[in-house]
């Protein structure tokens, strides 16, 4: 086997080991504000979403139109356990205690709250996970936070340490976080941050697959991003950060500011953490969350009663399209079989285009088969318009498609 192929195989194996043994995401890294505009939700809709950290599953319940049910599926039981813990906190805690846990990422009485109020509301698998990890929320040493844990938390903590070791850059970033006008924000980025931030050392590090794996980016997706940008991974990230920090307001960007601050603030946080959002969920909307540890395929195959009308597939098809094409074909076959009439699907990609979706073959039990692309009606202009508003900015493309007969 050529050395490049062996290296590729090793990186795939390493990613699988990281994925199967760890919490990957301690927060969602997709912007639900543009999802709401793309989904056009109605009260009768059922959404199937890949769970990740569960933030967006909760956000979908908050409307502006609340769907009938949000089915959150993830093959990683630790991601399911995190959403279960959030739902238990919404049901059992005050907003003050809940925000301390999931806003600040720490609470002085985290263990007591867990054992007295949260643990009884969890499934047995989630209890086993949090029995070992509830100390992630303990306020027992300076700087300790839940948001330092999980693989993305390790990267976030390391990033803050690296930035603090460069005082001029760190001061500039603190000033950026306090900027109140776009002109001020742009000036700080242009004159004080971009050149200092993207040093040769950082550009080298951003090109390493080990770092991408810690961020939940598998080998195939790394390759798509690298091949799709003239300056590779580092160039793509530089352009993405320029768009986010220079061209969009930082004041409501709770994605990047979480990792720069190490916590959320009451004025810059996901909607489920706001007082109004928390109360709406507590008053009944949280009961619309249906959590399942499964792949998209197995969730649909194992429950014939599931007929979602909306799918939010994140970016997982990037690696399935190359590493597991048969699994992707099975997933689309199950989506075609189970989808309700007038179904809409959203997904993101590290590539500018996703031909591996269109040329994927589906097979139905009644004998119908064909290419997935023949059954999709794309809303490309709308997707491109919304993609430019995305506060995360780390995907090369955003896709909206309706399933047609």
Name the pTM for this structure. Answer: 0.90
Mean pLDDT for the stretch of residues 183-208: 81
Residue 12 scores a pLDDT above 60: no
**Residue 1, pLDDT score:** 47
Name the more confident of 276 and 220: 276
Exposed, middle or buried, 351 (CB in 10 Å: 0-12/13-18/19+)? buried
State how many domains the chain has: 1
What pLDDT score was predicted for residue 234? 72
In the prediction, which pLDDT does 286 show? 98
Kindly indicate the confidence band of residue 120, based on its pLDDT and cuts at 50, 70 and 90: very high
Residue 255 structural domain: 146-261
Question: Between 139 and 20, where is the model more confident?
Answer: 139
Averaged pLDDT for residues 167-195: 95
In a domain, 179, yes or no: yes
Do the domain assignments include residue 189? yes
104-115 pLDDT, tens per residue? Answer: 999 999 999 999
Q: Give the pLDDT band of residue 405 (cuts 50, 70, 90).
A: confident
Span 211-244, pLDDT tens digits: 655 555 656 666 666 666 666 777 788 888 898 9
When computed from its CA atoms, the radius of gyration of the chain, rounded to whole angstroms, is: 21
Spatial CA neighbour of 292 closest among 59, 105, 46: 46
Check pLDDT > 70 for residue 385.
yes
pLDDT for res 145 = 94
Q: Average pLDDT over the chain, rounded to whole?
A: 90
In a domain, 339, yes or no: no
> Tell me, what's the pLDDT at 236?
80
On whether residue 167 sits in a domain, the answer given is yes
pLDDT tens-digit readout, 142-165: 778 999 999 889 888 988 998 999
pLDDT value at residue 9: 52
Hey, which residues does 290 pair with through a beta bridge?
A: 71
pLDDT at 299 over 80: yes
**What mean pLDDT is predicted for residues 68-84?**
97
Give CA angle at 22 (19, 27), nearest 5°.
95
- SS (HEC) of the chain: CCHHHHHHHHHHHHHHHHHHHCCCCCCCCCCHHHHHHHHCCCCCCEEEEECCCCHHHHHHHCCCCCCCEEEEEECCHHHHHHHHHHHHHHHHCCHHHHHHHHHHCCECCHHHHHHHHHHHHCCHHHHHHHHHHHHHHECCCCCCCHHHCHHHHHHHHHHHHHHHCCHHHHHHHHHHHHCCCHHHHHHHHHHHHHHHHCCHHHHHHHCCHHHHHHCCCCHHHHHHHHHCCCCHHHHHHHHHHHHHHHHCCCCCCHHHHHHHHCCCECCECCHHHCHHHHHHHHCCHHHHEEEEECCHHHHHHHCCCCCCCEEECCCCHHHHHHHCHHHHHHHHHHHHHHCCCCCEEEEEECCCCCHHHHCCEEECCCCCEEEHHHHEEECHHHHHHHHCCCCCCCCCEEEEEEECC
Within a domain: 303: no
| CB atoms near residue 293 (< 10 Å) | 21
Distance (Å, whole) CA 236 – CA 233: 5
Instruction: State the Cα angle at 57 between 56 and 58, rounded to 5°.
Output: 85
Band of pLDDT at residue 323, cut at 50, 70 and 90: confident
Region 49-62: mean pLDDT is 98
What's the mean pLDDT in 82-88? 98
Least confident of 64-68, 141-145, 157-161, 184-188: 141-145
Average pLDDT over residues 73-93: 98
**Does some domain include residue 157?**
yes
pLDDT at 230: 60
What's the mean pLDDT in 250-275?
A: 96
Domain annotation covers residue 74: no
> What's the confidence (pLDDT) of residue 216?
55
Instruction: Indicate whether 18 pLDDT > 60.
Output: no
């Amino acid at each position: 086997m050529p050395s490049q192929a062996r290296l590729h195989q090793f990186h795939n194996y390493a990613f699988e080991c990281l994925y199967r043994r760890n919490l990957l995401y301690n927060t969602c890294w997709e912007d639900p504000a543009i999802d709401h505009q793309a989904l056009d939700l109605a009260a009768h809709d059922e959404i199937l979403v890949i769970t990740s950290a569960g933030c967006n599953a909760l956000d979908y319940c908050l409307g502006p139109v609340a769907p009938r049910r949000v089915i959150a599926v993830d093959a990683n039981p630790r991601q399911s356990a995190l959403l279960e813990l959030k739902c238990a906190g919404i049901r059992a805690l005050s907003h003050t205690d809940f925000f301390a846990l999931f806003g600040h990422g720490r609470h002085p009485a985290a263990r007591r709250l867990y054992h007295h109020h949260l643990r009884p509301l969890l499934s047995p698998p989630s209890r086993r996970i949090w029995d070992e990890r509830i100390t992630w929320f303990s306020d027992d040493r300076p700087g300790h936070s839940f948001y330092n844990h999980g693989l993305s938390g390790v990267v976030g903590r390391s990033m803050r340490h690296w930035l603090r070791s460069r005082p001029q850059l760190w001061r500039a970033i603190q000033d950026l976080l306090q900027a109140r006008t776009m002109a001020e924000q742009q000036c700080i980025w242009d004159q004080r941050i971009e050149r200092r931030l993207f040093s040769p050392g950082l550009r080298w590090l951003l090109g390493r697959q080990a770092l991408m794996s810690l961020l939940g980016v598998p080998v195939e997706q790394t390759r798509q991003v690298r091949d799709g940008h003239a300056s590779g991974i580092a160039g793509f990230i530089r352009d993405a950060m320029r768009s986010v920090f220079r061209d969009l307001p930082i004041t409501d960007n709770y994605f990047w500011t979480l990792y720069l601050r190490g916590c959320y603030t009451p004025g810059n946080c996901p909607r489920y953490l706001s007082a109004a959002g928390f109360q709406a969920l507590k008053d009944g909307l949280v009961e619309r969350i249906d959590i399942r540890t499964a792949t998209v395929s197995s969730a649909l195959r194992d429950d014939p009663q599931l007929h979602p009308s909306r799918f939010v597939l994140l970016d997982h098809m990037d690696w399935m399209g190359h590493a597991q094409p048969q699994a992707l074909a099975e997933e689309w076959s199950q989506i075609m079989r189970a989808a309700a009439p007038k179904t809409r699907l959203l997904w993101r990609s590290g590539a500018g285009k996703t031909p591996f979706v269109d040329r994927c073959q589906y097979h139905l039990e009644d004998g119908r088969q064909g290419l997935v692309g023949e059954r999709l009606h794309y809303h490309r202009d709308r997707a491109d318009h919304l993609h430019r508003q995305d506060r995360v900015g780390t995907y090369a493309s955003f896709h909206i498609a309706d399933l047609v007969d």
